[in-house]
Amino acid sequence: MSDAEGTVPLARLLAMAYGDLIDQLHARLRADGWADVRPAYGFVLLATRAGSQSLTELASRLEVSKQAASKLVESMVAADYLTYVTDGGDSRVKGVALSDRGRRLLAAVEGIYADLEAGWAELIGARAVETMRRHLLTVVRARHDGELPTVRPPDGR
């Protein structure tokens, strides 16, 4: 589809651009030796970066069921991106925190994103990249009472 068929909706462009960035992110992670990173891991790392949280809290942030969150975390613990921690003395609560390897992965992801954005800056200009960032922040915050939401795993279901 070309724009000879009219203006391309922003939603499609956002989807394409996002898909490209994610494809490139994972390609570079694999090239750098991060072979076992599933797409959903990024959302968990982001949700956990500020500190440990319970499975139930994580499930809520990701907008999935407790069991889905539990299985996701289980596989990330097995891959040593997360670690279980004791959290506040309540034996019911299973605390989840970034492991050292998880922090390194998060740093790698952020480095690659910076790199990809530098590529965008070459195409459209560094100022345009910052303007786009600012405008996207504005429209997203407008929908979330001024805050940024966590991003749930995308669901085609």
Partner DNA sequence: TACGATCGTCAAGTACATTGACGAATGGAG
Partner DNA sequence: CTCCATTCGTCAATGTACTTGACGATCGTA
Q: Choosing among DNA, a second copy, none, which partner's interface includes residue 70 (Cβ < 5 to 8 Å by kind)?
A: DNA
Q: How far is CA 64 from CA 15, 39, 117, in A?
A: 22, 15, 30
List the beta bridge partners of residue 54.
95
Among residues 71, 104, 133, 141, which is the contact residue for DNA, using CB under 7 A?
Answer: 71
Rounded-to-10 torsion of CA 136, 141, 146, 148? -90
Binding status of residue 151 toward a second copy by CB under 8 A: yes
Which regions of the chain does DSSP assign to beta strands (E)? 53-54, 82-85, 95-98
Backbone angles phi, psi at 59, to 5 degrees: -60, -40
Binding status of residue 76 toward DNA by CB under 7 A: no
Among residues 35, 92, 138, 145, which is the contact residue for a second copy, using CB under 8 A?
Answer: 138
Binding status of residue 97 toward DNA by CB under 7 A: no
Q: Which residues of the shown chain bind a second copy in the complex (CB under 8 A)?
A: 1-3, 5, 7-22, 25, 38-40, 46, 49-50, 110, 113-114, 116-117, 120, 123-124, 128-129, 131-133, 135-140, 142-143, 147-157
